[in-house]
Structures are given as C-alpha cells and as structure tokens.
Structure 1
C-alpha cells in the first residue's frame, strides 16, 4: 500500500469511526461517554484551552461543541490507526 493509499484509507476509517462514536455518544453508551469525557477532562486542565474556550464562546461560537467534535475526531483517528496497524499483517 502506498503512502497516499494509506492516508486515504486512514481518512476513510477515521470518518467511519467518528460517525460511530457520535452515534454511540448520542445513545449515551457508557464506554464511549467515558472515553470522550476523560479526553475532555484532560484538555480542560490546560488553562490555555480554557481561555480559548471562553474567548471563542464570547465571540458567539459554540466552542464546547467544537472542542467535543475535535476530541471525537482525534479519538477516532487513534482507533483507526490501531485498526489499520492490526490489519496490515493480515494483508501481508
């Protein structure tokens, strides 16, 4: 698999995983909720992140929702990378 193919596959799997995570959050699945809340808690310990949230919120943006979507995307990418890494030996 070329680097471009790998990036394309990673993007596809990441998008699918992010969609599943969002559905799982909407359904209040405890494992997914714990994963996202834990990541969110880690982020909110950073004063710079909090300051940015306040500034963006005061500018009228739903900064908390944007941060949550960003975390979902990052978690989905990590899951996708692990899934692709586990699938590579099978393809060889």
Structure 2
C-alpha cells in the first residue's frame, strides 16, 4: 500500500552516499480510503516507537514523516538487499 522511492538530499549529500527510502501513500487512491489511512498511521506509529527505543541494527528507524490533505509519507534509511543478507549471516 503506497509507493516507495529511493531518494537523497542533494544539498546535504551531493555524492548520494546516504540515500533513504521515502514511502508515500495517496489518501484518495485506495478504494477503502479509511483503512489505507489507518494502516499508514499505524505504520508511522510503529516506526516511531521502534526509533525511540535503543536502535536495534536490524529494525528500521523513522527519519521523519509528513502529511498533507492528499498524501502521507515517511522516510527510513535505505538498506540494499545485499547488506541485509550479509548482516543477517554475520557471526
């Protein structure tokens, strides 16, 4: 539910070394608008709680979120698949 973009901030990261994932939910694109919006709020709440605890290396942390009349969005650090699988198999 939603679209995920790989983005970076060119003003603070001109070399694109620290990309992040931006998930955007169009509040009006879903047939069950209320359910989609409720799920998006729940996802932001869970990520916020995980971020407020001592960060665990295998759990995502929220970098920020936004909401407008049409969209809800939040950013998390980008982790390529090969890094996740490498970290999971490390001793």
TM-score under structure 1 normalisation? 0.33
Relative contact order (C-alpha < 8 Å, sep 6+): which is higher? 1
> Which protein is richer in helix relative to its size?
1
TM-score under structure 2 normalisation? 0.34
> Which protein is richer in strand relative to its size?
2
